[in-house]
Amino acid sequence: MHNINIKNNIKGTFWLGSIFLLFTVFLSSCDFTYDLPEANSIADETPPSASFDFKQDDADYLTIDFSNLSGSATDYVWDFGDGSTSTAKNPSHTYAEIGNYTVSLSASDKLGVVNSLTRTVEIIEPVDDFVPVILNAGFDEEGDDSYRDHWKNLELGGILQITSSPVHQGPKAGKFPSAGDRIAYQLISVQPNKNYLLSFYYTMKTSPEGTMSVAILAGHVTEEEQIEGATIAEKTLDDQSDASTYVLEKIPFNSGDNSEVAIFVSNVGVECRIDSFEIENN
């Protein structure tokens, strides 16, 4: 019996001690001077709202500049959709390649409230929308001799003539008499290192035998001796099968270092006509 009583007393002392110890631990863990609420334990009067915009960087189209428009937030986690993340407020991110990326921004405040926004960022190669302009490309522009003025280079030859029959399109076409003493020349603006396709229609009399030439020259040329060295591309035309039927011809070329190239038309030996120039990115 004594043994049992002693055992009970020991047990009671143990539990009392344990409770006291737990209470002491509890008291020491409490910070009575600063009461930080747990997340969502009180209403967040100004919860964060995630918002962002983005644009392609001017210098590098694979780099996206993000602007953070979130409200009531202090911390940010960006997921750029390519395995990369950032905690910067307004990050820029460079992608490895073009494509669609799902970008999410999680904005949170010090109360632990998180709001997220996901947007698709589409990265495409910038479109080159510059297309060169050829003035009076169809030789139809009337008045003040302007239908020929755009095609002048008196240092290289006499100005081309204009004919009304036959033409490919519109009221007029350019004409080069058999003497070969007339040329057409026009300097046009291009972008360097771009591929272009120049097209036009021409026809020649069936006799005597002769040729017509359309060349692309690297920039402005003022002397005949410069022509050969300046020629980027050239086509010699010799379809003399039908004087009244215009033939489509195309000259592909690369502008190289030049921001201007010249279209240069000349002929040898036979009367020729030309009409409807067009140029496009190639």
Q: Which of 70, 39, 41, 65 is nearest to 54 (CA)?
A: 65
**Out of 44, 140, 260, 278, the residue judged to bind Ca ion by CB under 5 A:** 140
Residues in the chain, overall count: 282
Sign of the Cα torsion 182, 188, 193, 196 reads: negative
H helix intervals, the chain = 2-29, 146-149, 224-230
CB-wise, 105 or 173, nearer to Ca ion?
173
275 lies in the binding site for Ca ion (CB under 5 A): yes
138 lies in the binding site for Ca ion (CB under 5 A): yes
Q: What one-character DSSP code corresponds to residue 127? A: P
Q: Which amino acid is at 129?
A: D
- Specify which residues 275 forms β-bridges with: 201
Q: Which stretch binds Ca ion (CB under 5 A): 10-18, 121-129, 130-138, 151-159?
A: 130-138
180 lies in the binding site for Ca ion (CB under 5 A): no
Closest distance to Ca ion from the beta carbon of 222 (Å): 28
174 lies in the binding site for Ca ion (CB under 5 A): no
Q: Which stretch binds Ca ion (CB under 5 A): 158-166, 191-199, 211-219, 271-279?
A: 271-279
248 lies in the binding site for Ca ion (CB under 5 A): no
271 lies in the binding site for Ca ion (CB under 5 A): no
208 lies in the binding site for Ca ion (CB under 5 A): no
Instruction: Measure the CA–CA gap between 36 and 33, rounded to whole angstroms.
Output: 10
Instruction: Measure the CA–CA gap between 106 and 70, rounded to whole angstroms.
Output: 9
CB-wise, 139 or 196, nearer to Ca ion?
139
Instruction: Measure the CA–CA gap between 273 and 204, rounded to whole angstroms.
Output: 6
CB-wise, 140 or 249, nearer to Ca ion?
140
Closest distance to Ca ion from the beta carbon of 262 (Å): 20
273 lies in the binding site for Ca ion (CB under 5 A): no
151 lies in the binding site for Ca ion (CB under 5 A): no
Q: Which amino acid is at 269?
A: G
Tokens of 2: 């004594």
157 lies in the binding site for Ca ion (CB under 5 A): no
For residues 206 and 171, the answer to whether their CB atoms sit within 8 Å is no
The footprint of Ca ion on this chain (CB under 5 A) covers a number of residues equal to: 7
| Chain contacts with Ca ion (rule: CB under 5 A) | 138-140, 169-170, 173, 275
